[in-house]
């Protein structure tokens, strides 16, 4: 009997060791996050809180539009309804980037802390995948924190309901994976001293052109811009959340949204993984 157990152990041992190592990396990251939970929450909620407070609470009480959104007036919805999915998309994107790119830039720094991670019994590519998965979990947590703000702060009630739970789940997971993959691509390919510059010339512009504050369909009067922004992954995050949370607001067909998110993840993931492997090997 003992010989049977001993003979069967080696077959499953590598898989178990790999899974244990992967979980260990995740638990280590969560432990670090737990120590910085306060700054994490403040970083997530500050921007959407101020934006919602000024544009959907202060402005309506100053009688400047009574909470209506000029872009959405034809649909009869308030600004808060349009902003709800967009601000959730911004939270996903910024959290995924900061959760992966900023720590990774430090680990690739002078101290080379990344060497400790790649010494665990896992393929180097799986270590990079763990970074993306951890960023994904943080991004999902960020949406949970932003959702009540975007729902309750606007003075005009937000007209939101989940039209499809499976679509909402798919969009959240895919969007969070895309954000983590973008964080990996930035952290693995950009020098630490240039991270701030990337936020200024890449992250902020793609946010303002990501259909966060307006539906993609309302760009039809600027046709060239409507086509150009299709390369922006935040567009599909915002539109996907609109399709699942605020179906009354114009949005893209969801099959195109899901396909675009999958393609974005594949491209950014490949670019980030190649950069990660190159930095680790060097």
What's the Cα-to-Cα distance from 225 to each of 110, 145, 232, 263, rounded to whole Å? Answer: 42, 32, 11, 21
Task: Dump pLDDT digits (tens) for 162-209.
Answer: 888 899 999 999 999 999 999 999 988 888 777 777 877 888 888 888
User: How much is the pLDDT for 182?
Assistant: 93
- Residue 7 lies inside a defined structural domain of this protein: no
User: How much is the pLDDT for 257?
Assistant: 95
Task: Dump pLDDT digits (tens) for 12-56.
Answer: 566 666 667 777 777 777 777 777 777 777 777 777 777 677 766
- Residue 2 lies inside a defined structural domain of this protein: no
- 95/196: higher pLDDT: 95
User: How much is the pLDDT for 242?
Assistant: 92
For residue 150, give its domain range: 14-281
Confidence of residue 282 (pLDDT cuts 50, 70, 90): low
In contact, 57 and 155? CB cutoff 8 Å = yes
Question: With 70 as the cut, is the pLDDT of residue 279 above it?
Answer: yes
In contact, 91 and 145? CB cutoff 8 Å = yes
Give per-residue burial for 233-270: e unless 16+ CB within 10 Å, then b. bbbbbbbbbbbbbbbebbbbebeebbebbeebbeebbe
Task: Dump pLDDT digits (tens) for 214-245.
Answer: 899 988 888 999 999 999 999 999 999 999 98
Question: With 50 as the cut, is the pLDDT of residue 68 above it?
Answer: no
In angstroms, the CA 130 to CA 128 distance is 5
Q: For residue 280, what are the contacts with CB-CB under 8 A and spacing of at least 6?
A: 114, 118, 124
Question: With 90 as the cut, is the pLDDT of residue 271 above it?
Answer: yes
- Greatest alpha-carbon span in the chain: 81
Residue with the two structure tokens 């921007």: 47
Nearest residue to 47 (alpha-carbon basis) of 80, 1, 87: 87
Question: With 70 as the cut, is the pLDDT of residue 143 above it?
Answer: yes
In angstroms, the CA 24 to CA 132 distance is 15
Confidence of residue 117 (pLDDT cuts 50, 70, 90): low
User: How much is the pLDDT for 1?
Assistant: 41
Question: With 50 as the cut, is the pLDDT of residue 73 above it?
Answer: no
Q: What angle do CA 139, 256, 128 make, to 5 degrees?
A: 35
Confidence of residue 8 (pLDDT cuts 50, 70, 90): very low
Range with the poorest average pLDDT among 9-13, 42-46, 74-78: 9-13
- 121/137: higher pLDDT: 137
- Residue 196 lies inside a defined structural domain of this protein: yes
In contact, 175 and 252? CB cutoff 8 Å = no
Tell me the chain's radius of gyration from C-alpha atoms. Answer: 21
User: How many domains are contained in the chain?
Assistant: 1
């Amino acid at each position: 009997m003992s010989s049977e157990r001993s003979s069967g152990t080696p077959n499953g041992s590598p898989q178990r060791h790999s899974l244990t190592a992967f979980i260990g990396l995740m638990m280590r990251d969560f432990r670090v996050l737990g120590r910085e939970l306060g700054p994490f929450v403040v970083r997530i909620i500050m921007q959407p809180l101020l934006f919602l407070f000024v544009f959907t609470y202060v402005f309506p009480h100053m009688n400047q539009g009574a909470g209506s959104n000029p872009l959405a007036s034809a649909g009869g919805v308030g600004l808060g309804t349009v902003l709800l999915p967009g601000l959730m998309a911004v939270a996903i994107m910024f959290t995924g980037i900061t959760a992966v790119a900023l720590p990774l830039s430090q680990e690739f720094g002078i101290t080379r802390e990344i060497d400790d991670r790649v010494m665990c019994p896992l393929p180097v590519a799986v270590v990079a995948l763990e970074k993306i998965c951890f960023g994904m979990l943080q991004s999902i947590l960020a949406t949970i924190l932003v959702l009540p703000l975007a729902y309750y702060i606007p003075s005009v009630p937000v007209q939101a309901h989940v039209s499809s739970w499976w679509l909402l789940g798919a969009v959240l997971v895919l969007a969070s994976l895309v954000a983590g993959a973008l964080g990996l691509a930035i952290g693995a390919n950009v020098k630490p001293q240039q991270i701030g510059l990337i936020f200024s010339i890449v992250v902020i512009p793609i946010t303002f052109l990501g259909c966060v504050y307006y539906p993609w369909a309302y760009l039809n009067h600027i046709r060239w811009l409507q086509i150009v922004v299709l390369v922006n992954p935040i567009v599909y995050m915002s539109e996907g959340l609109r399709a699942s949370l605020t179906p009354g607001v114009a949005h893209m067909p969801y099959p195109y949204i899901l396909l675009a998110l999958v393609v974005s993840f594949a491209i950014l993931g490949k670019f980030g993984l190649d950069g990660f492997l190159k930095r680790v090997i060097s």
